[in-house]
Amino acid sequence: MSSNTTGQVIGYARVSAADQNLARQLDALGHVDKLFSEKLSGKNRERPQLHEMIDYARAGDKVLVKSPDRLARSSIDLLEIVRELKDKGVELEFIDFPALNTTDKMGSFMLQILSAVAELERATIRERQAEGIALAKERGAYDRGPKLNEEQIAEARERIDLGVPKAVVARDLGVSRSTLYAALAGTGRYEQPSSS
């Protein structure tokens, strides 16, 4: 019987390679109402069972994972998943790392700290990218075209019209949200040349 009276307990387990064993994680999870597992490395958008788990979870459910590194490869990815689940009203519990559980105030506080660290990480990456681009432009070696073609933009519009969050669409296309917004708005690299 599930200890979560308002919803299901959902388990998620992952190992990075096909020859690794999921048994320890499955033992740690114990009985769950629904289990999602995969033997796959890669970024979040490349893991189908992770997406299925997030899509499956409903308000009142609780997702159990052995440790944060089984759910995400970086603090930025982890926070994105936490936010997605939280927006759906789904709790997240880490068996080996209860300090990050979204089920209590301390976990929420720790996640806020992690969020600040991730934001600093993002800002540092952006700063380095900007410096690299500036140097490349000075050498005349920087001329990136648009990352999305017309077909991808049309597909993105269709999915958004169907209610798929823009963050999910951007992730699935392998671009940042700002790139997706620019493509949808026809600004920046996606601006159509004037016909006059």
pLDDT at position 68 is: 86
Q: Alpha helix locations (H) across the chain?
A: 23-29, 48-56, 68-71, 75-87, 105-138, 150-161, 166-173, 177-185
pLDDT at position 6 is: 73
Considering the entire predicted model, what is its pTM?
0.56
Residues with active-site annotation: 16
Within 8 A by CB and 6+ apart from 47, the residues are 14, 38, 40
Overall CATH class of domain 9-98: alpha beta
Domain ranges of the chain: 9-98, 145-188
Q: How far apart are CA 62 and CA 24, in angstroms?
A: 20
| Radius of gyration over every alpha carbon of the chain, rounded to an integer in angstroms | 20
pLDDT at position 63 is: 95
- Residue 94: count other Cβ atoms within 10 Å of its Cβ: 21
pLDDT at position 145 is: 67
pLDDT at position 2 is: 41
pLDDT at position 59 is: 95
AA letter at 14: R
Q: How far apart are CA 184 and CA 196, in angstroms?
A: 23
The sign one gets for the Cα dihedral 106, 109, 115, 120 is negative
Provide block-wise average pLDDT over 10 residues at a time, the chain (196 residues). Answer: 68 84 91 92 75 94 91 80 90 86 76 72 78 77 73 90 88 88 82 59
pLDDT at position 35 is: 96
Overall CATH class of domain 145-188: mainly alpha
Residue reference for tokens 């759910």: 71
pLDDT at position 196 is: 45
